[in-house]
Structure 1
Amino acid sequence: MKIFKLLSMVLIAIFISISFTACSNDKESVVPPVEDEYIDVPLQISIDTSIDITDEPLSRADNQNPVYAIDIEEIDSNTSTTTDYAYGFFRSLDNVTIKLKKNKEYRIYAALYYDFFSKYKFYSNDGFNPATFYNTYTNGFIYPYDEYYNVSYWYNKDYVPYSETYLIEGDGYYDTIDKFSPSLNNICSMELKRITSAFEISVEGLTEGSIRCGLEFLEYNLIPSKPKISQMFVCSYLMYNTECNLKVYVDYIPTTGEPIKLVNSNYTFKRNKRKRFLIKLDHSGESENVNTGFNFTQEKVEFIDEEQIRYNCTIN
């Protein structure tokens, strides 16, 4: 009996010892999360000079007040989804660095615009709260929390109801890098491609009245002393495609009476190409038809001009 009790006590002691050891091992197996290691990566951005448009108004010499818009997204290694990491707007990228997590990958968007803040501003939002607007350069990168930004998030200062716009006047460049790894690259180098297109509308025979014309919601007025407009523009669609379809309209505004529609059609605009429209007005009044006829001709011109589209219009 005493031997039985002694064996029972030994077994109980062994059980308690094993249980205590198991509990201790459970606590020791909890590994604290590893903090991310950050490194500073300089940004090095250049412009693709293989295409140079020199004719007015597509001259780079007229470009003033550059703004570099940078958007960086962090890529989830498990799901490949992205979350916004940082963004900023800079006059120059000299000495600009971004603090990135060493063991992560990123998608980086970069755009360059000129004279942007005189007419437009950038904005970001989270889909719930009022948007945040930026009408000047940032001192450094902004690291948002649950906020979304894109380099083509443009906001017109004066246009209503087209405040959030996909079309801006001026010159622009764009590029993106996918799966950028700070551990493999100590410098982020990008070569921006030109994403600018242009249109020219000239009117012959404008002796009285005026012309109201434009591209989508970009509107201009022509008068007898100034019968031509030539404008370059950046469209967000041209960031991801080499061409896009946009509406061109031309209306004749007589000194008395109602406006007369001369052109109201969609046309294909391409990167680094300018589409030209020539409107010939006939004031003879021999016909009651507004548009007596029109033809399309394609000229063999320099690379800057894609084609000239001619309209012969009789107005009463």
Structure 2
Amino acid sequence: MEYTKVRSADNVSTVTQFILLGFSDLPNLQGFLFGMFSIVYLIILVGNSFIIVITTLDPALQKPMYFFLANFSSLEICYVSVTLPRILFNIGTQNRSISKVACATQTCFFLMLGATECFLLAVMSYDRFVAICNPLQYPLVMNPIKCTQLAAGSWLGGMPFQLGQTCQIFSLHFCNSNQINHFFCDLPPILKLACGDTFVNELSVYLVTILIATVPFMLILASYTRIIATILKLPTATGRAKAFSTCSSHLLVVFLFFGSATVTYLRPKSTHSPGTDKLFSLFYTIVTPMFNPLIYSLRNKDVIAALQKLLLRKSCHVRVY
């Protein structure tokens, strides 16, 4: 593969094209990986689309909780579409080159949507906090205007930070190599290729990660501390079980996403290894979005009831004709 570079003004060779090594170290598994990732992508698209459709059509699911869940499912489709089609293209064509502009664009959208996921998970925990801890005020606090504002803030909140961080990282010179030992353009493997001292850039990544990920995670923990304390005070076991069931799915998704993402972005650059980075990245880029529809649908009685109603309606419609 040709190493594409240009000569900059300060006489340093600067990479203008990258090579995404991805899973090239597994030459005998390329066909299997292509098939597996294709199936996973299809599962993610169908599963999350199902959540969007069912929460939109069923009147019983016209609640703030399911409004945010529909937003979350839309986000997951966008999130995986930033990385998975490129992975499939690279494996299918065995052409792993990507221009610097395309790489920066992928990184920017990936980071912005990742920030949206952090904020949206925090908003969903706030929704559960109000519903369980202040049920009488819930319709007033979580009114349609407030829900729309919270959703819009989640989608737009991380854009300035992540756009600025992307511009900062890709304005560096990349002279060590043009081979990214990853399956998409992520910050840790890209920083490894930069010339000179990248301490300021690493510090910037840590600070933005703390702001975008750690702060929402702490708000989620604070919300659930209050939620659990309130649930334990409920007089009946049935009431406690019902309250826990509305929160357990969200908590599972929170720990899957934040756990793997935090380990990736808050470790020092010297401790990063390609294998570990790929493993953790697979969790928060592909595995979590794949399991989210299953987690939310199979563990939610309202969604199951809505699905049964939808299937029953279709069955009756078929019998009529």
Superposition TM-score tier, normalisation by shorter sequence: under 0.3
Structure with higher strand content: 1
Greater helix share, 1 or 2? 2
TM-score by length of 2: 0.25
Larger Rg: 1
| TM-score (normalizing by structure 1) | 0.25
